[in-house]
Chains A and B, each alone.
Chain A
Amino acid sequence: MRVMAQMAMVMNLDKCIGCHTCSVTCKQAWTNRSGVEYVWFNNVETRPGQGYPRRYEDQEKWRGGWILNKRGRLALRGGGRLRKLLTIFSNPTLPGLDDYYEPWTYDYDTLTNAPLQEHTPVARPKSLISGKDMKIEWSANWDDDLGGSPDHGDKDVLLKNIADKVKFEFEQTFMFYLPRICEHCLNPSCAASCPSGAIYKRSEDGIVLVDQDRCRGWRQCVSGCPYKKIYFNHRTGKAEKCTFCYPRIEVGIPTVCSETCVGRLRYIGLILYDADKVLEAASTEDDHDLYEAQRSVFLDPDDPEVVRAAEQAGIPRDWIDAAQRSPIHALINTFKVALPLHPEYRTLPMVWYIPPLSPVVDVIKDTGFDAEDKGNLFAAIDALRIPIEYLAELFTAGEVAPVDAVLHKLAAMRSYMRDINMGRDPDESIATAVGMTGEQMYDMYRLLAIAKYDERYVIPPAHAEQAHSLEELATECSLDYDGGPGMGGSGPFGEGSGATPPVSVENFQMLQVRQTSDSIVAPADKASRVNLLNWDGRGAPEGLFPPRDPDPDAAATAGDRS
């Protein structure tokens, strides 16, 4: 047994209102730079839908993740090492910008600078890639809320395995939101595809990171990740990915997407697993067994033997405590309501989901029946095969039973708690019907519905005695690093060249550049572009307001405005 700790996330999909706050705050924190305009480390997809990048789940085409080869051994779907090297000069399975979308901004300038005229001036969209006028045809969430689904809804990759096609007619459809970040997999195929070995899994907390100094821009990892959660920065020529907000996690606070989530639906905590069993689990023969196989890799943090082994492996005592209190462990192993996203990719993903009961509840409500009645709910779960099969395609490689079981538990919780809320005696039989006790039912309710901040996030800070080595914790002057200050901007070899500044300093610089920049799209110096999405409300990028008048009276009036 080789115990390792993994920082993991669970999202409760029933609570997601599809507001995209997580995406926007993540973008603000991490990808508000040129070169990654099209990148969303966190994106929210409406399902059924194509996702972002379009149809990324079509592994016949993109060849991401792992498969079992003819000898039953685990192999990269994209091909072995030699094949990867031979196709390095032009990667055959790299999504193009079309598959994501062409990022744009607007020339807001014309709104304020246009002379008096009969027609209202419009701000035209300008491509952030070419700087030219463009026609907006797609984005990271173009099919939000099933927009346009009658036309292209059938392009959803998962639908091909579902017998009765999902109907996109208003009355019959169902939908839910799926927020996605990097899965920080136990068996990351992105890392396995990287020719330079620049992508690594941190042995302390399992966060998967790209070493920007070692990445050489071979862009094989983009193809290797089946979730398409590695992005190529087209300005710096390096791969970037979700960082699980490691600078925040290291000091014990949740990721930006979790912290700002309006639905408060994200849970973060540790899970202990046996690293020796990872390969075996990933090599499970039947796709349908992968969910259980992955669960078998996780260790019970309350088992004294596991605790002993964890201590021997150098996991600090407070981390073991945190693993015992972990909401992730509770949702995955105790209540068994969280499921992995696409286990059939065999990367052993570590961001899990509680499937939504809402498609079922909505149908019952629409038909005028009591949507909190156990009988109605159970019957509807059994009757509504299409949504359930669809969820199974997402979370259990098409195996319906585990999804069924989870939905029954969620339905049971609904009716069990209703009795309590109405002041009636709780009905223990509801709990036993789904294999739980009334007490467990209540605990689950607390975790899922009350969802206190300190129960949602149990994040042990990285160790104080290691503080000096933490990447971002400022125990010294934060400008005191190799090559700084005077950083920001670029070295002589193009954007982003030169020594790397720490993330915090870089963001500060970026903010300053943005606030003092003077053009919307200036291909000569793309670092100074202004995109409203990136504007944080401070300072006034030019183009947003008319230029200040040099004469003092006018300046005074302009001053009033701010």
Chain B
Amino acid sequence: MSTAEATTNSGSVDLLLWVIFPYVCLAVFAVGHFWRYRYDKFGWTTRSSQLYENRLLRLGSPLFHFGILFVFAGHVMGLGVPESWTKKAGVSESMYHATAVGSGSVAGLCTLVGLAILIYRRRTVGPVFSATTKMDKTMYLVLATVIVLGMANTVVANLVGHYDYRLGVSVWFRGILLLNPHPALMAEAPFGFQVHGLAAFLLFALWPFTRLVHVFSAPLGYLTRPYIVYRSRGDSLGSRKPKRGWERVGS
């Protein structure tokens, strides 16, 4: 297996940071969501705070959300699609780069400004602040770190250095998903990218335990379902499940 070959030329710290840590985080992410969904469906919500305050939210929330959804799409492109594919499709490196940096920084800026407004609001609006949980604070800390570093990397990597992340970080990230990790690639990456990556995985590990679970409930089904939902009293067996072996039979 190539992991063995990769480990030979990278230290155990690299192995820990770029292989073990990501997998642990992903495992927590997956199991955590499963567990939370089973244990805490009632807590699975956006915990909207609009009732307390609307003026800042009306500005910050759409900025942040449209920004981050675009940034997410950008990451799917940048991390998910190998450079060789875009080349084959006839998109030159410089062309790809220009569009990615162009649209990416606009979206990134929106996200950042939106996030700043949201955090400012959380801290300064009394009722919103008192409705902020410890998990919210932790989540905002890590989320802000990830976003700020990501933005910084985009700026620095384009203005100052010339690091082609599509040949480094992206390949490593795909390796993680394809169970074929290349820790060495990450060990060579600039410091900013390293921390961004680590913080991002930490965010994944936190994800199931924060309000961020609302992302997985994005209500796309609304576009197709009938307007009025009818449900029979009979098919939901109350809030209490029958004991095993005592489930009702069909007749």
Contacts and interface: CB of A to CB of B under 8 A. Distances in A.
Interface of A: 81-82, 84-85, 88-92, 94, 96-97, 129-132, 187-188, 191-192, 194-197, 199-205, 211-219, 232, 234-238, 250, 462, 466, 468-472, 476, 480-483, 491-494, 496-503, 523
Contacts of B85: none
B42 A216 contact: no
B103 interface: no
Contact of B238 (A97, A470, A498): A470
B162 interface: no
A81 B40 contact: no
Contacts of B41: 213-214, 499-500
A96 B51 contact: yes
A92 B55 CA distance: 10
B9 interface: no
B50 A94 contact: yes
Contacts of A476: 240
Interface residues of B, number: 58
A499 B47 contact: no
Contacts, number: 187
Nearest to A74: B227
B217 A499 contact: no
Contact of B219 (A131, A132, A218, A503): A218
Interface string B8-20: 0000000000000
B124 to A, nearest CB: 13
A389 to B, nearest CB: 33
B131 interface: yes
Given A202-B233, A232-B51, A191 B227 contact: yes
Nearest to A95: B51
B222 A84 contact: yes
B231 A218 contact: no
B50 A468 contact: no
Given A90-B50, A218-B46, A196 B40 contact: no
B132 to A, nearest CB: 9
B52 A97 contact: yes
Interface of B: 36, 39-54, 57-58, 61-62, 64-66, 126-127, 130-131, 133, 135, 209-211, 214, 217, 219-223, 225, 227-234, 236-243, 248
Given A192-B227, A195-B222, A129 B52 contact: yes
A219 B48 contact: yes
Contacts of B242: 468
B238 A197 contact: no
B239 A197 contact: no
A210 B41 CA distance: 14
9 contacts: A89-B64, A90-B50, A97-B51, A217-B47, A232-B48, A236-B42, A470-B238, A493-B211, A501-B239
A130 B131 CA distance: 10
B42 A85 contact: no
Contacts of B229: 191, 197, 199-201
A205 B65 CA distance: 40
Contacts of A497: 40, 42-43
B46 A502 contact: no
Contact of A482 (B53, B217, B241): B241
B133 A493 contact: yes
A413 to B, nearest CB: 38
A522 to B, nearest CB: 11
A84 B230 CA distance: 21
B146 to A, nearest CB: 20
A382 to B, nearest CB: 42
B214 A81 contact: no
A114 to B, nearest CB: 27
Contacts of A131: 130
